[in-house]
Amino acid sequence: MPFIRRCSTQSNLRVRVLASRALTGLVSNEKLPTVLLNIGSELPCMESQIPASSFPSSLLNPSNGTVCTNYNSIHGMLLQLCSLLDANCRNLADFTKKEKILGDLFQVLVKHSWIASPKMCPCPILNCSFIRVLDHMLSIAQTGHVSENFFPIRSLLWKLCTECLDVAGSFGVSYYDPTVAELRGQAIISYFSCVLQASKDGMEEVLQKTQAHLLLDLKLLNLPGTRETFVAVEERLVSSLSDSSYEVRLATLKWLLKFLKSAESFSDVHQSSSAIGIIQQWSKPNLQETMVKLLDSEKYHRCKYYILRILFTWNLQQFQKLGNQNSADITYVGNLDDDSMSQFWGKLLSLYNITRHKKSREALICCMALCVKKFSSLLTSSVLSYMEEKTSKSCESCQLERSAHLYGSITHFVNLIKEHSSSSEPVSKRNAAAESIIASGLLEQAELIGSCVLSNEIPAGLSGSCFEPKEAVNMYGHQLLEIWFTCIMLLEDEDDGIRQWLALNVQKCFSSKASGRSFHAVGVPMQVEKVIELSFGYLSSIFGHWIDYFDHLLQWVINVANYVTSKGDIVRQVFDKEIDNHHEEKQLICQICCSHLEQLPISKSWLADGPIKQRFTNYLFNWRKRFCNQLTYFAKDHIENLGGVDWIVGAGNHKDAFLPIYANLLGFYALSNCMINGNIEDSMLLLTEVDEIGKTIDPFLRNPLISNLYLLVVNLHERKVGATAGMLACKFIDDSIWDGFDPYFLLR
């Protein structure tokens, strides 16, 4: 250990750092107090303030005026203290021993605090290192229980940090000095740590500040000068946010984000007069405006990222507390006027188009979601008013223009979310999409709009891009379905974190206040697969009467059934699989959709006698034909690709063949059920496609699931039109026929 300690005071900076780290493994818990006190005692004392110019490269011993040590030695000792405190002392299980170490060491360091003063010690590296030692001690004093050393350490650290932050002219240099920038960056971190201390567990969002410390804050207010000190925190925060130093701005923004995420857990009563309370009182009217201004002036992308995250966190918290209610003393997106809202939205769009930094673009999407939360609420109110004919003729034109703008903004956002949710996008983008979906509030709007959508026409492809009053509710409903289906797609993401977080938040939509429907207790975790199933059940209960929802389900099934794996060598297939980041839930979703298609009331009501029956019948015929064509095309193509190779237990058991074959056949079966149960005319026309499918999929019928599903299709037509099982192109193996086969086996 003596050798390593000597190395830690060498002139080479890298050697000093490495030696200090190596020291941590050599000091036992029993020797730790002695070693720390010995190192602290070796630091030079200065009983009187000596001008910095009198010792440019060495320090004078205050007792006899002789040179006692140099800057490198002091720096090495401070590095040793930092390493031992952070690695050894922090992890001590004995809180009493930890308390004694901090108390004894603090008494020693107080005598050497001049090292942290730029006026008395003109070396930014030493100033920064001493500040860092005290910062470690403060953070250790806050762990476990209230420490009696907390306030003495905090008081000294606060004083020294304040002096270091005002250090700009203390060193007399006109050029940029990275050591001064590092000092001021560390000083602002430690300064705000005196208000709220970050934890050391690596979680940036988690902060450690007990209610007991807040109570002690109130006691501290009774001391002379303390209240003025707390008030100065607000001034320091405002000035640091616009500081000329990038390091200071970045550290301040990071701390402010942590503060917002943690301060919600503290009682307003305890915060009213504390530093925390002062910052919160400043935030209510000023934070939104300040961050928007900084967004215009900031040039560094990391600072911009934290500004955007602060805006997102702040506004999300206010929406959760206040909803869309106006609050005179709080400024946030929810109570901005139309002009301010339009400017903010335009700013976000402009930044998104010019920003190339990945994390900043993701944060911009999240901020857009907060704007959409307000837009969706306004558009819902507008659409419902129009449906109830409450809008007067005089303001109808103005209202229509405003609604068209809101709809355009929501549509743009939905398209961005769909782009970010793609399976080929990185996990951070998909996570931002999931976070934005929940924050936007669009999922909750479905229930309000669902009862108003109109089923007047058979879907004929993409809806018009022009916002028309008569089609407003249906156009809006389409966007709500798009965001819901994108959300469900993310629920099958392969990243467990995204799936579980999103599933927990989607559950909150299943408890409906508007209609009294309740699918599950809010906040109770469920399996993600169950949440997917409940999501479709929820949508069917809202949009089950809407033909466009029926069409969306069919589109989802045919997209799943069109799943084709990559061709080429095995290496290419492996890499293509890696960019498909969605969990293997395609078969489950296909079965859910087909099950709902059979049960939706729209098919029964539209197939009843009426003027629209024939058009709806033709619509079902066309969709049924699409499934038939896609099934036969895939089956023929797959057999050709096998090149005559006899796959083990039949081609239907090939991993790339089962999903497309079964999904297409299931869609065909579900539509056949709807048509036959609806008593359509000319039912004999249905037989041709059944026979064609039987001949095409003959090589796949050795798979019992495929063969039993096809047998259900045959029996369904047999009951209706008198066809027989003789139309099968192959003979089933007796063992493959299952009594009571359920085509929706994953739902049981």
Torsion of CA 332, 338, 343, 344, to 10 degrees: 30
Percent of the chain with pLDDT over 70: 76
Q: Residue 305's pLDDT band (boundaries 50, 70, 90)?
A: very high
Residue 582 is given by DSSP the state B
Flag whether 674 is in a domain.
Answer: yes
Pairing of strands 58-60, 67-70: antiparallel
Amino acid at 633: Y
DSSP SS3 for 406: helix
Contact by Cβ (8 Å): 4, 23: yes
Q: Report how far residue 432's alpha carbon sits from residue 417's, in angstroms, rounded to the nearest whole number.
A: 9
What is the per-residue pLDDT for 392?
52
Residue 433 and residue 376 share a domain: yes
Residue 3 and residue 101 share a domain: yes
Residue 716 is given by DSSP the state H
DSSP SS3 for 445: helix
Q: Report how far residue 669's alpha carbon sits from residue 709's, in angstroms, rounded to the nearest whole number.
A: 8
Residue 374 and residue 306 share a domain: no
Residue 460 CB partners (closer than 8 Å, separation 6+): none
| Structure token digits, residue 507 | 């559950």
Flag whether 737 is in a domain.
Answer: yes
Flag whether 266 is in a domain.
Answer: yes
Kindly report the number of other CB atoms within 10 A of residue 59's CB atom.
Answer: 23
What is the per-residue pLDDT for 197?
67
pLDDT for 72-92, tens place per residue?
899 999 999 999 999 999 988
- Looking only at Cα atoms, what is the longest distance across the chain? 117
Q: Report how far residue 99's alpha carbon sits from residue 136's, in angstroms, rounded to the nearest whole number.
A: 13
Q: Report how far residue 190's alpha carbon sits from residue 181's, in angstroms, rounded to the nearest whole number.
A: 14
Residue 38 is given by DSSP the state H
pLDDT for 316-368, tens place per residue?
999 988 765 667 788 999 899 999 999 999 999 999 999 999 999 999 999 99
Q: Residues 226-234: contacts with CB within 8 Å, 24+ apart?
A: 227/273, 229/158, 230/273, 230/274, 230/275, 230/278, 231/278, 232/162, 233/195, 233/275, 233/278, 233/279, 234/278, 234/279, 234/282
Closest CA to 694 of 620, 628, 621, 625: 628
Domain count, the chain: 4
Contact by Cβ (8 Å): 188, 240: yes
Flag whether 327 is in a domain.
Answer: no
Q: Residue 52's pLDDT band (boundaries 50, 70, 90)?
A: very low
Residue 537 and residue 554 share a domain: no
Q: Is 714 exposed, middle or buried (0-12, 13-18, 19+ CB in 10 A)?
A: buried
Which of 134, 168, 194 delimits the end of a domain? 194
Residue 287 and residue 373 share a domain: no
- Per the prediction, the chain carries an average pLDDT of 81
**Helices within 111-177 (DSSP H only):** 124-141, 150-165
Amino acid at 434: A
Q: Report how far residue 488's alpha carbon sits from residue 535's, in angstroms, rounded to the nearest whole number.
A: 8
| Structure token digits, residue 516 | 């009294």
Task: Give the phi and the psi of residue 68 in degrees, each rounded to 5.
Answer: -110, -30
Return the minimum-mean-pLDDT range out of 31-40, 52-61, 125-134, 192-201.
52-61
What is the per-residue pLDDT for 652?
63
What value does the mean pLDDT take over residues 697-707?
A: 86
Residue 623 CB partners (closer than 8 Å, separation 6+): 554, 667, 671
pLDDT at 729 over 60: no
pLDDT for 569-592, tens place per residue?
555 555 555 555 554 678 899 999
Residue 295 and residue 378 share a domain: no
Flag whether 329 is in a domain.
Answer: no
Contact by Cβ (8 Å): 437, 368: no
Task: Give the phi and the psi of residue 147 in degrees, each rounded to 5.
Answer: -100, 140
Q: Report how far residue 171's alpha carbon sits from residue 125's, in angstroms, rounded to the nearest whole number.
A: 12
Which helix (H) or strand (E) segment holds residue 315: the answer is helix 301-322
Return the minimum-mean-pLDDT range out of 68-77, 126-135, 446-455, 704-713.
68-77
Q: Report how far residue 657's alpha carbon sits from residue 668's, in angstroms, rounded to the nearest whole number.
A: 17
What is the per-residue pLDDT for 219?
46
461 vs 204, more confident: 461
What is the per-residue pLDDT for 204?
39
| Structure token digits, residue 704 | 């019992």
Kindly report the number of other CB atoms within 10 A of residue 174's CB atom.
Answer: 6
Which of 150, 166, 194 delimits the end of a domain? 194
What is the per-residue pLDDT for 61?
44
| Structure token digits, residue 369 | 């979601």
Q: Report how far residue 195's alpha carbon sits from residue 212's, in angstroms, rounded to the nearest whole number.
A: 13
Residue 178 and residue 243 share a domain: no
Return the minimum-mean-pLDDT range out of 270-279, 449-458, 659-668.
270-279
What global pTM score does this model have? 0.87
Q: Report how far residue 196's alpha carbon sits from residue 237's, in angstroms, rounded to the nearest whole number.
A: 13
Q: Residue 251's pLDDT band (boundaries 50, 70, 90)?
A: very high
Amino acid at 299: K
Q: Residues 19-26: contacts with CB within 8 Å, 24+ apart?
A: 19/76, 20/76, 20/79, 20/80, 20/82, 20/83, 21/83, 23/80, 23/83, 23/84, 24/83, 24/84, 24/87, 24/88, 26/1
Q: Report how far residue 66's alpha carbon sits from residue 63's, in angstroms, rounded to the nearest whole number.
A: 8
pLDDT for 92-134, tens place per residue?
888 889 999 999 999 999 999 999 999 888 899 999 999 999 9
298 vs 4, more confident: 298
Residue 713 and residue 688 share a domain: yes
What is the dihedral sign for C-alpha 6, 11, 15, 16? positive
How wide is the angle at C-alpha 598 spanned by C-alphas 617 and 716, nearest 5°? 80
Closest CA to 127 of 41, 216, 190: 190
Q: What range defines the domain where residue 357 resides? A: 336-543
Phi-psi map region of 568: left, alpha, beta (phi>0 left; psi -120 to 50 alpha)? left
Residue 482 CB partners (closer than 8 Å, separation 6+): 414, 418
Q: Report how far residue 248's alpha carbon sits from residue 164's, in angstroms, rounded to the nearest whole number.
A: 12
Flag whether 415 is in a domain.
Answer: yes
Flag whether 330 is in a domain.
Answer: no
Which of 260, 279, 312 delimits the end of a domain? 312
Residue 230 and residue 133 share a domain: no
Residue 656 and residue 621 share a domain: yes
DSSP character string of 472-540: HHHHHHHHHHHHHHHHHHHHTBS-HHHHHHHHHHHGGGGB-TTT--B-S-TT----HHHHHHHHHHHHH
What is the per-residue pLDDT for 682?
64
Torsion of CA 529, 436, 354, 314, to 10 degrees: -150
Residue 533 and residue 553 share a domain: no
Residue 158 is given by DSSP the state H
| Structure token digits, residue 161 | 């940090």
Flag whether 349 is in a domain.
Answer: yes
Residue 217 and residue 173 share a domain: no
Closest CA to 70 of 58, 56, 52: 58
| Structure token digits, residue 519 | 């699918």
